[in-house]
Structure 1
């Protein structure tokens, strides 16, 4: 079994929920990437200002450090571009990435049910989809999120076990 896992996807795709459940199922430590954003990044997102590559660089390096520091870990992180995923992978052996794939309509419906999250508005979600370069199947295990969370979790665990 892979020792380090990054759960990828746009905001609202279920990264934190599924990542936490994967970590619990495997007995791994879970880190929600959102918890490691700088205050400046959080303020930008609260104001519906999309993050730039420069805004994300230090954050991704911090998450990469967590992967290097912990013998087992699951991290929820958008990882929208190949360059971001390369930073996450840098110097980390035995890493699997799971991409939670869903349509903007499915994810927007989920966003509308969230309370108190700083990621704000359809424009922000659309900016993430505009930035997203979906990982290839060689780069990540792909899970369709149109199914119930329990089914998403089971599919992710099955793929990790292959």
Structure 2
């Protein structure tokens, strides 16, 4: 593969962790969760149902970028909701993005079923409002996720040009 980091991106509940772990196992990369890079104050805000703003997200993106500069062969799940955020990540490492596009209804269902996660369902609308769909970004593949999406990892590998991993 001609990339050092594969970012699996999208709003909370889209399946970044599940898909990211499966993809990492398949290609022999390490999986890292973008949530691990949030500051305690960001986590506290989200737990309290307060949406993050650009100022909150910049140190988080910087931390992710620093990690990616020193670690290769990584699949990293993070929201990267705005073009600006993806551009910051692009500047740090050779990468590709997998955008998991999920309906609001399915996202809400998934978030309500999730236990022990800091992100409350009440923040879904703010994430969707922040989301800038990656329509003109050549290094992003957008995959629409249904309840069950068979062969999802194969679809991603096809995009990455690496079916034999």
- TM-score calculated relative to the size of structure 2: 0.91
* Counterpart in the other structure of 1:13: 14
How many residue pairs match? The answer is: 160
Q: Would the aligned equivalents of 1:96 and 1:140 in 2 still touch at CA under 8 Å?
A: yes
Distance 1:148 1:132 in 2: 23
The question of 1:102 aligning with 2:105 is answered no
Q: Secondary structure at the match of 1:107?
A: helix
* Counterpart in the other structure of 1:134: 133
The question of 1:116 aligning with 2:116 is answered yes
- Cα 1:149–1:24 change in 2 (3 A) is farther
Most deviating of 63-72 and 112-121: 63-72
* Counterpart in the other structure of 1:88: 89
Q: Structure 1: which 4+ aligned runs deviate by more than 2 Å?
A: 149-154
Q: Output one character per residue of 1:71-111: Cα deviation in whole Å (capped at 9) or x when no partner.
A: 21111010000111111111312x11100011111111111
Q: Would the aligned equivalents of 1:13 and 1:107 in 2 still touch at CA under 8 Å?
A: yes
Q: Would the aligned equivalents of 1:12 and 1:111 in 2 still touch at CA under 8 Å?
A: yes
Gaps of 5+ in 1: none
Distance 1:110 1:83 in 2: 27
Within-5 A mapping of 1:1-162: 1=1, 2-93=3-94, 95-121=95-121, 123-136=122-135, 137-148=137-148, 150-161=150-161
Q: Output one character per residue of 1:45-88: Cα deviation in whole Å (capped at 9) or x when no partner.
A: 00000001010000011111121111211110100001111111
Most deviating of 81-90 and 6-15: 81-90
Q: Output one character per residue of 1:7-35: Cα deviation in whole Å (capped at 9) or x when no partner.
A: 11000000011011111111111110011
Gaps of 5+ in 2: none
Q: Would the aligned equivalents of 2:6 and 2:97 in 1 still touch at CA under 8 Å?
A: yes
Q: Would the aligned equivalents of 1:11 and 1:78 in 2 still touch at CA under 8 Å?
A: yes
- TM-score calculated relative to the size of structure 1: 0.93
- What RMSD over aligned residues (CA atoms) do the two structures have, in Å? 1.4
